[in-house]
Amino acid sequence: MIFLAELFAEARGWARRLADDRSGISMLEFAFIGPIFFAILMAIFETGFMFVSALVIEGATAQAARQIRTGQVQQSGDQLGAFRQILCNNLFGIVDCADLRINVQNFDPGNIRPNPAEVFEPGAAGRFVIVQVRFEWEFVTPFLNIIVGQGAPNSRRFIASAAFHNEPF
């Protein structure tokens, strides 16, 4: 019994000395908390850049759709090329233009049924037009796709849209 009491006393003394020893504790705490802190910081930066990219795509889509609405794209020799050029010029290098999927369709009044296929039909004057530009954001931050992801695995789909009635041109 005495041996057991001495063993527990020695263990308590060892535990007390270990608890009082402060050398290296900051490094140990950082080893536990650091990766979590940097993952959260990286997720904040990536989420911010993701939404800025979505806003830039929205603005570029609106600018390019205006050129369809006024007939400038339809009057060019290469309609898709002219639209893509206007769209890419307004992305300011934030988003790679090759990653965008473009869908432009025109309709008769009262017969608006969009087709999900990628087509480019800007239509003539007086036609209703729907412009959609799709972009898949590929996540860099681990586990961020679980929180905000959708679409393809490890990505989020953004769709910028514009619907309008072509002006006379």
Residues 84-100: pLDDT tens digits? 999 999 999 999 999 99
**Helix, strand, or coil (residue 69):** helix
If you average pLDDT over every residue of the chain, what do you get? 86
Q: With contact defined as beta carbons under 8 Å apart, do 134 and 101 qualify?
A: yes
Q: Is the pTM of this model over 0.85?
A: no
- Taking only the tens place, the pLDDT of each residue in 28-61 is 888 899 999 999 999 999 999 999 999 999 999 9
- Taking only the tens place, the pLDDT of each residue in 78-87 is 999 999 999 9
Would you place residue 66 in the very low, low, confident or very high pLDDT band (cuts 50, 70, 90)? Answer: very high
Can you tell me the distance from the alpha carbon of 50 to that of 17, in angstroms, rounded to the nearest whole number? 50
Can you tell me the distance from the alpha carbon of 69 to that of 24, in angstroms, rounded to the nearest whole number? 67
Q: What angle do CA 101, 103, 106 make, to 5 degrees?
A: 170
